[in-house]
């Protein structure tokens, strides 16, 4: 079993292989150098960074249950494993992962607090150096009303 590192560095991965012809015993050694893909998907947080070769295929090992999954066609099988059948992952981590893969927001009871909203908005305005006069723009309040109709912007 061979191991390959798929970390986010740009180092080269070197593999050697032996090929034999069916009519003879010619062994041909070949060097294959390739740069590993960058692991952009957050699914890789749940798998070991070192890939292992099983039956000629590179496979990722689940950190929770140790199952080795094929990575040949991308991360779909990895996502499916973490989202559903993995028995070793705790339910909180599984729900968080499923929510991160979904385009739907988390089902958490949201309570709007105008005081917190005002404080965060003030921090943004000061940090971005937005003139306070912009708070009196006639298009600001209608825009905020689309997000939270009960919030009223206070001027200077």
Cα radius of gyration (the chain): 26
Confidence (pLDDT) at 106: 54
Q: Going edge to edge, which strands form the sheet with 3-5?
A: 3-5, 50-54, 57-61, 68-70
**What residues form DSSP beta bridges with 18?**
29
Confidence (pLDDT) at 79: 81
What phi and psi values does residue 69 have, to the nearest 5 degrees?
-120, 145
Structure tokens of 15? 């593999």
CA distance 55 to 53: 7
Highest-pLDDT range among 18-27, 31-40, 59-68: 59-68
Q: Which of 96, 98, 104 is nearest to 84 (CA)?
A: 98
Confidence (pLDDT) at 38: 59
Q: Using one digit for the tens of pLDDT, what is the confidence trace for 68-105?
A: 888 887 888 888 888 777 888 887 887 777 777 766 55
Structure tokens of 29? 């050694």
| Residue 129 predicted with pLDDT over 90 | yes
Confidence (pLDDT) at 131: 92
What's this model's pTM, rounded to 2 decimal places?
A: 0.42
Q: Using one digit for the tens of pLDDT, what is the confidence trace for 55-71?
A: 888 888 888 888 888 88
Confidence (pLDDT) at 67: 86
Confidence (pLDDT) at 42: 77
CA distance 123 to 155: 15
């Amino acid at each position: 079993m061979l191991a390959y590192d798929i970390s986010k560095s740009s180092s080269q991965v070197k593999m050697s292989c032996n090929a034999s012809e069916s009519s003879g015993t010619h062994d041909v050694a070949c060097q294959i150098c390739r740069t590993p893909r960058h692991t952009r998907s957050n699914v890789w947080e749940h798998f070991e960074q070192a890939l292992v070769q099983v039956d000629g295929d590179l496979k990722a090992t689940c950190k929770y249950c140790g199952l080795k999954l094929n990575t040949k066609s991308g991360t779909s099988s990895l996502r499916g494993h973490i989202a559903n059948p993995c028995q070793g992952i705790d339910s909180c981590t599984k729900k968080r992962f499923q929510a991160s893969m979904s385009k739907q927001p988390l089902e958490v009871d949201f309570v709007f607090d105008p005081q917190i909203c005002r404080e965060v908005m003030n921090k943004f305005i000061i940090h971005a150096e937005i003139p306070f006069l912009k708070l009196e723009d006639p298009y600001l309040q209608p825009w905020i009303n689309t997000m939270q109709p009960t919030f009223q912007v206070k001027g200077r």
